[in-house]
Chains A and B, each alone.
Chain A
Amino acid sequence: MFDQLSDRLQATLSEVRSRGKLNESDVDAAMREIRLALLEADVNFKVVKSFTKSLKERCLGSEVLESLDPGQQVVKIVNEELTELMGGTGRDIAFASAGPTVILMAGLQGSGKTTACAKLARHLGEAGKDVALAACDVYRPAAVDQLVTVGERAGAHVYEQGTEPDPVEIAGWALDRAVEEGRDVLIVDTAGRLHIDQDLMAELARIRKKVKPHDVLLVVDAMTGQDAVEVAESFAEAAEFDGVVMTKLDGDARGGAALSVKAVTGKPILFASTGEKLEDFDRFHPDRMASRILGMGDVLTLIEKAEQQVDEKQALDLQEKLKRDQFTLEDFLQQMRQVRKMGPLSGLIGMMPGMGAMKQLKNADVDEGELDRVEAIILSMTPGERADPGLINGSRRKRIATGSGTKVQHVNQLVKQFDQMRKLMRQMASGKMPDPQQLAQMAGGAPRPKPRRR
């Protein structure tokens, strides 16, 4: 997500680090770089100004100048200050003790409200909640249809009355119905509106008054520039939002808007939307974000994802097999499926510590289609072949290629890669870290990482 920003900060600070001791002009140079990096990351100009000011004061303080490793000290301070700026620990939705918990979603046009509503519905549904969605965007053509489709896909009930009634009335009606039907959560989708459109902002305030939401969430596009601050301030005034959902974080926008909004309104970012699929939606962890900005990786998120998807017993079995070098293509298939359940591989790589700095991995375009092909090839093998790839001779290769709709060289490639991987596993089992080039090959499923088109 924020990897480019972290690269920049790391580049600047590694210079300081290599010099050993730093003086005031070092600090100034570092601040200039940090200032530029933050501006390029779309952090608001005024936020950048105050951030670098307090950063500089701390960096010039005795704790840095007298420390043995000033570079390290600067990294630590930037980390702390960024954490401070991003806010403390994040929180999930706070559920009401009785009756439906009402969540009101608001934001500019095109920020991704409707999709975020469905994703949030799915997220809460996963937690065992019975969720209903209210379709109050009566302005954008076909917005109601969109909510009905994605809402149902998310397993939520969608309450809609078409586009004729007043949105305030629809919201009230939906709340009554949610109470009547005993839903746990009601998420109210509203039309996108400009923060300077007084009529629509007044309407939002009326919807708010009508449904008395427990949480008002502002949906903010991660690609937003300097304007994020104005938008957040206006919505804070009219809708008194409680938290933020950042969308489109799967792009390469540096997402400085997240820092700006938090710094200016003091409202925490609760959720991050990170992909096209409904499950690409996570709690946002501000306390982990600073580490991530500095390229320290987001190990906690990775572990959590793995915990959700990986069966513990299976994992233990696998560990045994690895130790005894009995890892088969069948195990590989299962592993691959589990990992893929965790989300797009490119996202996972970004979460691994140190990976931000590994250029060859970052540019490895993880081709999900390639993985589909690998799956098809393995599925076309007999159980015997899966257990012992050594069996696969020329005529078997031909049969497997035909069966999986691929070519013989694809089958060859897979068998070769699997062989390499077993070697790698043996290395890892004996406690050595694999070399990143090999890892990239594994992740990409291709012999050489393909440069991503830029």
Chain B
Amino acid sequence: MATEWQEIFDLGERSLDSVEQREAAGESERAGVFRRLRESLSKSRRALVEEISASLFDRIDEETWERLEEALILADVGAPTTAEVVERLEQDVESGAVSADGEAVRDRLIEILAEVSANGRAPIDLSGRPAVLLMVGVNGTGKTTTIGKIAWHLSKEFGLSVVLGAADTYRAAAAEQLAEWADRAGADLVRSEAGADPGSVAFDAVAAARARGADVVIVDTAGRLHTQGNLMDELAKVRRVIAKQIPDAPHETLLTIDATTGQNGLRQAKVFSEAVEVDGVVLTKLDGTAKGGIVLAIAGELGIPVKLIGSGEALEDLRPFDPSDFARALLTP
């Protein structure tokens, strides 16, 4: 069962009446979108299961574990987490807890992978009024695009009023890019001139959201490599400035991780988390051939779960993360 949007957002005491009304109103238009999604999902899921059984588990022997290790390494899961997962599975089979037939072993493996990836799982906290969501990540991982899509969902599907804060004042034309998304999503935009202090933009955005009684404010930040100490300090300052407006804000800090990222993703999550307390990961660009297996290590070792996945440029290509679906996809060759 795929995770639904309603499950991934904690909207607090807000009534969902308006959501249902909107859903009813937009039913016919939306049906097409969801049918497409369902079809593509079920097709790939069927293909997945067939391929997993064919390639990995047609017989259980010494080589099975090696092939499995290879599959997980190629999915960027990384050597340490791969070794742990395979060891657990091997023990289960040896102890007889799982019978040594292909299907049972496969199902148990998917269970283990889903379990690891769900470590620390929690909904995106939007219960605050306004709820403040801070978006961080290294350059080119898809922060601005993800914000645009989240804003669209919150605004068009949940009927919430959204303010976007363009605190990426560094990259040329970043604010313009966000402005286009604000336009599409029907959200308000708070921006400043290029080179302005990102903290002041974040401050203004939260202040504007409070003044207008907006439901959610999403703050975009400039992409930065986690190795640049001064830029990480700047990010921590943005967070502090937000907390000056609303003491427990930002209520949710999301880190974008590009699915093509290799083992460095773990360091990214660790360092960003130290600087701004990351609550969850948005795994982007899953529409390529990369599997994004590094998020397994991130969830397993750091307890930072994936909350959303991005699989394309279209609005409906941002979806709530589903551990079982992800576990299956990891094993597709």
Binding site for B on A (CB under 8 A): 36, 39-42, 45, 108-112, 139-143, 145-146, 148-150, 153, 194-196, 221, 223-228, 230-231, 248, 250-254, 256-257, 276, 365, 367-369, 452-454
Contact, CB under 8 Å: B260 / A227: yes
Contact, CB under 8 Å: A45 / B73: yes
Contact, CB under 8 Å: B141 / A110: yes
Contact, CB under 8 Å: A194 / B287: yes
Contact, CB under 8 Å: B264 / A254: yes
- In the complex, given contacts A194-B288, A453-B232, what are 9 additional A-B residue pairs having Cβ atoms less than 8 angstroms apart? A39-B79, A42-B76, A110-B141, A194-B285, A221-B261, A224-B262, A367-B230, A452-B229, A454-B271
Contact, CB under 8 Å: A251 / B75: no
Q: Which 3 A-B pairs have the closest CB atoms?
A: A225-B262, A110-B140, A42-B262
Contact, CB under 8 Å: A109 / B140: yes
Contact, CB under 8 Å: B230 / A109: no
A416 to B232, CA, bound (A): 30
Contact, CB under 8 Å: B76 / A225: yes
A109 to B271, CA, bound (A): 24
For residue B275, CB closer than 8 A to chain A, the reply is: yes
Contact, CB under 8 Å: A146 / B76: no
Interfacial chain B residues near A149, Cβ < 8 Å: 172-173
Contact, CB under 8 Å: A45 / B74: yes
For residue B89, CB closer than 8 A to chain A, the reply is: no
Contact, CB under 8 Å: B262 / A368: no
For residue B139, CB closer than 8 A to chain A, the reply is: yes
Chain A residue at minimum C-beta to C-beta distance from B264 = A253
Contact, CB under 8 Å: B142 / A109: yes
Contact, CB under 8 Å: B173 / A146: yes
A226 to B260, CA, bound (A): 8
Counting residue pairs across A and B whose Cβ atoms lie within 8 Å, the total is: 146
Instruction: Tell me which of B142, B177, B293 contacts A142 (CB under 8 A).
Output: B177
Which of B76, B142, B227, B263 has the largest number of chain A CB atoms within 10 A? B263
For residue B153, CB closer than 8 A to chain A, the reply is: no
A45 to B285, CA, bound (A): 22
Binding site for A on B (CB under 8 A): 70, 73-76, 78-79, 138-142, 170-174, 176-177, 179-181, 225-230, 232, 258-265, 267, 270-271, 274-275, 285, 287-291, 293-294, 313
Q: Given A36-B79, A110-B285, A226-B73, A142 and B173 touching (CB < 8 A)? A: yes
A394 to chain B, nearest CB (A): 33
Contact, CB under 8 Å: B230 / A230: no
Chain B residue at minimum C-beta to C-beta distance from A113 = B140
Interfacial chain A residues near B294, Cβ < 8 Å: 225
Q: Given A226-B74, A453-B232, A196 and B288 touching (CB < 8 A)? A: yes
Instruction: State the main secondary structure of chain A at its contact with B.
Output: loop
Contact, CB under 8 Å: A248 / B172: no
Q: Given A40-B78, A452-B229, A223 and B285 touching (CB < 8 A)? A: no
Contact, CB under 8 Å: B177 / A223: no
A–B pairs, 27, beta carbons within 8 Å: A39-B73, A40-B78, A42-B262, A110-B142, A111-B140, A143-B177, A146-B172, A149-B173, A221-B140, A221-B258, A223-B138, A223-B258, A223-B264, A224-B261, A225-B76, A225-B265, A226-B76, A227-B289, A230-B290, A251-B226, A251-B264, A252-B226, A252-B264, A253-B262, A452-B229, A453-B229, A454-B274
Chain B residue at minimum C-beta to C-beta distance from A39 = B79
Interfacial chain A residues near B173, Cβ < 8 Å: 142-143, 145-146, 148-149
Which of A111, A139, A221 has the largest number of chain B CB atoms within 10 A? A221
A62 to chain B, nearest CB (A): 31
Contact, CB under 8 Å: B285 / A256: no
Instruction: Tell me which of B139, B174, B263 contacts A248 (CB under 8 A).
Output: B139
Contact, CB under 8 Å: A42 / B271: no
B68 to chain A, nearest CB (A): 13
A141 to B177, CA, bound (A): 5
Contact, CB under 8 Å: A231 / B229: no
Interfacial chain B residues near A453, Cβ < 8 Å: 229, 232, 271, 274-275
Interfacial chain A residues near B140, Cβ < 8 Å: 109-112, 221, 248
Contact, CB under 8 Å: B264 / A42: yes
Instruction: Tell me which of A111, A141, A227, A452 contacts B290 (CB under 8 A).
Output: A227
A9 to B179, CA, bound (A): 48
Contact, CB under 8 Å: A145 / B74: no
Interfacial chain B residues near A230, Cβ < 8 Å: 289-290
Contact, CB under 8 Å: A252 / B267: yes
Q: Given A39-B79, A149-B173, A223-B138, A251 and B260 touching (CB < 8 A)? A: no
A365 to B231, CA, bound (A): 13
